[in-house]
Structure 1
Amino acid sequence: MDIYLFAIFLLACCAAGATGAVFTPGAWYRSLQKPWFTPPNWVFRVVWTSIYLLISFAGARLAVIEGNAYAMAFWAAQAALSTLWTPLFFGLRRIKGALLAMGPLWLSVLGCTWSAFSLDFLAGLAFVPYLIWVTVAAALNIEILRLNRHVAPLTSVGG
């Protein structure tokens, strides 16, 4: 594995993950009713750090394989789509909108996992925790929406 490629993919992950630093959960999120399977807050940092390392590893392995076009396209799609959920959910407090963004994200992670496995077993394996986590996140989003139908989204930025 090329360490420079790994660093480039990790930088892309950090850029996508920066939305979590900009749009933090805060008091609004703490006030929401959450399902019984909501992980403790510290788990999110551990999981995302692990996922970013794993998918950077996968990206670096896939980037040098001939015939990687679909894998790279799905990798780029999941990176781009992952930046949408946090601003929608925490920034604009649009629980339903975040759920709608989750669908294409989940499909792009599935596509990347599938195409990675067809090229490199270890790269595919590295994407499995992400697919599991996005599935859990979608279930959390669905349940938070169900439990908090009365919660209105922000009507203006900063409001």
Structure 2
Amino acid sequence: MKFLAFILNIALTLCVGALGGYATAQSVKIWYPTLNKPSFNPPNWLFAPVWTILYILIGISAYLIWLKRDQIIHFPRTVAIYLIQLILNLAWSFIFFYLHEVGFALAEIILLLIVIVINAIVFYKIDKRAGYLFIPYILWVSFASFLTYNILILN
């Protein structure tokens, strides 16, 4: 049962990533190259492996929380925060790459970052390892926020 839960937690986050990839697939080839981007913009090939690693870390973190679900008084609230964070993560891809709404995407990614930090704190209080696993995610989304801001300014 634990192995299945482990796989399901990682699979959920990877599915979110796959859906986000669907939203970005055409725009990365057609729209995104037409944008003015800052000099520190990473190469396109870097995004998929970074996000894959992040989604796996997020899934492991969720699994660690799942293991302690019987000890968590407000488990439904913990799950809700986690799911809201995943939904906001997915929404950013659609807003930025599918709708091409860079300004709205900036506002949304700031909200996403706030919810990620809240999620990390909630997880940390339950299992320190689960909270620490969110640090790379926080750092990457902070960078993505700064990148989105610069793309907005340059365009």
- TM-score, with structure 2 as normaliser: 0.88
Identity of aligned residues (%): 30
Secondary structure at 1:114 match in 2:
helix
1:110-125 matched pairs, under 5 angstroms: 110-125=117-132
Cα distance in 1 for partners of 2:133, 2:3 equals: 16
CA contact (8 A) 1:62 1:72 kept: no
The Cα shift of 1:88 comes to: 0.9
**Would you say how many aligned residue pairs link Structure 1 and Structure 2?**
148
Secondary structure at 1:23 match in 2:
helix
Partner of 2:115: 108
1:4-19 matched pairs, under 5 angstroms: 4-17=4-17, 18-19=19-20
Secondary structure at 2:133 match in 1:
helix
The Cα shift of 1:72 comes to: 2.4
The structure in which a higher percent of residues are helix is 2
- Give 2:43's aligned amino acid: P
Say which of 32, 36, 39 aligns to 1:36.
39
CA contact (8 A) 2:61 2:130 kept: yes
- Give 1:6's aligned amino acid: F
The Cα shift of 1:3 comes to: 2.1
The Cα shift of 1:83 comes to: 1.2
The Cα shift of 1:115 comes to: 1.2
Cα distance in 1 for partners of 2:96, 2:30 equals: 13
The ranges of structure 1 where at least 4 consecutive aligned residues each deviate by more than 6 angstroms after the TM superposition are none
- TM-score, with structure 1 as normaliser: 0.86
CA deviations 1:86-105 (Å, max 9, x no partner) are 11111111101111211221
1:1-150 matched pairs, under 5 angstroms: 2-17=2-17, 18-24=19-25, 25-65=28-68, 66-67=71-72, 69=75, 70-148=77-155
- Give 2:2's aligned amino acid: D
- Give 1:56's aligned amino acid: G
Change (3 A) 1:43 1:16: same
Secondary structure at 2:38 match in 1:
coil
- Give 2:36's aligned amino acid: Q
CA deviations 1:20-79 (Å, max 9, x no partner) are 124321221011111122111121111101011101000000012222634422211111
Partner of 1:154: none
Q: Any gaps of 5 or more consecutive residues in structure 1?
A: 149-159
